[in-house]
Amino acid sequence: MTQELIIDSTPVSPFEMNAYVCGDAATKDGVLIDAGADPDKLLHMIERSGLTIHAILQTHAHLDHAGAIKPLKDGLLDRPVYVHKEEMPIYNNVARSAQMYGLGGFPQPPAPDHFVEDGQILTFGSLSFRVLFLPGHTPGGVAYITGNHIFVGDTLFMGSVGRTDLPLGDTPTLVQSLLKLMNEEDHMRVHPGHGPETSIGRERQTNPFVQAALRGQTWM
Q: Give the domain CATH number at 48.
A: 3.60.15.10
CA 8 – CA 23 distance, rounded (Å)? 9
Q: Residue 100: pLDDT above 90?
A: no
The verdict on residue 219 lying in a domain is: no
Q: Which domain holds residue 74?
A: 5-214
Residue 104 has a pLDDT of 83
Query: Would you give the DSSP letter of residue 3?
Result: P
Amino acid, single-letter form, for residue 2:
T
Q: Give pTM, 2 decimals.
A: 0.97
The verdict on residue 220 lying in a domain is: no
Instruction: Place 48 in a pLDDT band, splitting at 50, 70 and 90.
Output: very high
Sequence-ordered list of residues with C-beta below 8 angstroms from that of 195, at least 6 positions apart, any chain:
18, 157, 158, 160
Tally of domains within the chain = 1
The verdict on residue 209 lying in a domain is: yes
Taking the CA atoms of 23, 192, 120 and 82 in sequence, report the sign of the dihedral they define: negative
Q: Quote the Cα angle for 216-188-172, to 5°.
A: 25
